[in-house]
Structure formats: C-alpha cells, structure tokens
Amino acid sequence: MTEFRFYYYDTSDAHTATAELRRTNFQGTIDSLAVVSSTTQTNGFGSVATTYILDPMVDNSIYAYTVNVYLNPGTTNPDYMRLYGIRVAYTSGNIYMPMIKK
C-alpha cells in the first residue's frame, strides 16, 4: 500500500471526521495501519491522505483488512460530516506474463 485517502463532505467548520485503516489476524489481534482526519477549517468536499502506513505489505493469507470511519467523534450528531469514499492505493510487485509467440 502506498497511500490511504479519505473523501468527505463537511457542512460545519466545527466538526471533524476520522478514517482508520486496520488489519486483524485470525486470532483477533488488531493493528492500526494508518489514520487520517479532516480539518475543522473547511466546509464542502475535501480529502485527506497519508503515505505513512505502518506495514504496507498486504498479506491476505494471514490478515483481514478493514476501514473504520468516525463521523464527528465525541458527538451524538453525525449529520455534519458525510463519507464520500475511501481509496487505498497500492503497487504490485513484478508481474511476469508468459511470452506468446505466433
């Protein structure tokens, strides 16, 4: 993984939202890999990203990956913030394709 990005819509400059990329092994251990939060100075559409990911190597054979989103943490009214998308960018290693000759 090379980037974790959170897209949101904010209707109030007094509220924030947070997105967290997590992984869990199948014994229940949870690791937080990346966290991003919106700022309180912007209204409208926005996005925030990080390229710092704790362990960027994806291994689906021993981990499950999830994203948790917290709209207006600490309040009972999530209406000021809306989730519009999550993007996890990644690169693959060398991919070797068979050579086809005609």
- The DSSP 8-state label assigned to residue 60 in this structure reads T
Q: How many CA within 13 A on the CB side of residue 26? A: 5
Q: How many CA within 13 A on the CB side of residue 5? A: 11
Condensed to tens digits (0 to 9), the pLDDT of residues 24-65 reads: 998 989 999 999 998 777 788 889 999 999 999 999 899 999
Which has the higher per-residue pLDDT, 72 or 52? 52
Following DSSP, what letter does each residue of 43-55 receive, concatenated?
-EEEEEEE---SS
Q: What b-and-e string marks burial along 2-25, b requiring 16 or more CB atoms within 10 Å of the CB? A: eebbbbbebeeeebbbbbbbbbee
Distance (Å, rounded) from C-alpha 76 to C-alpha 94? 47
Q: In percent, how much of the chain has pLDDT > 90? A: 47
What's this model's pTM, rounded to 2 decimal places? 0.81
Domains of the chain: 3-89 (2.60.310)
Band of pLDDT at residue 99, cut at 50, 70 and 90: low
